[in-house]
Amino acid sequence: MSVQFFVYLKTLCYQYKKTTCWVGAFFILLFFGDTLLPLIGHFLHLLLEVIESALEHFLEAVFGFSARQAQITLFYSFCIMMGYLAWYVARKVYFAGLQGYEIAQAFLRKPKVKAWIKAMLMFGALGTTVYIFS
């Protein structure tokens, strides 16, 4: 029995690799997030420092910049890139929210849903009234 279960589990993992990875990542973050997230943050910070240092040396060697000029150039370049990234993400989030709003409005306009919402509001009001006066 247990061998069949593990064979079935192995088959599911191979069929749904992407879903299995997301579920695994969720549980790893859930159980080890307090130690894993700072470690990832430190790794990304070190990676950014290495890239920044390499770009500074590149600017100094190729264009003859001083160390200060290279730092200032990279700072403003990174600010421009982060501004563009923030605009791009905000635009995507806005359009996704707009699409979700339209889907919710279309769902809530159905007569059957309207009846359920009306019933829920009436029972909620009745329950609140009973709770207040009891």
pLDDT at res. 2? 64
pLDDT at res. 65? 93
d(CA 3, CA 9): 10
Average pLDDT over residues 101-108: 86
0.75 surpassed by pTM: no
| CB 98 within 8 Å of CB 104 | no
Q: What percent of the chain has a predicted confidence (pLDDT) above 70?
A: 95
CA 33 vs. chain centroid, Å, equals 15
Burial 113-133 (b: 16+ CB within 10 A, else e): eeeeeeeeeeeeeeeeeeeee
pLDDT at res. 1? 52
d(CA 114, CA 119): 9
Chain segment 28-49, per-residue pLDDT in tens: 888 888 888 898 899 999 999 9
Which residue matches tokens 């279309």? 106
Spell out the domain ranges in the chain: 1-64
Higher pLDDT, 104 or 89: 89
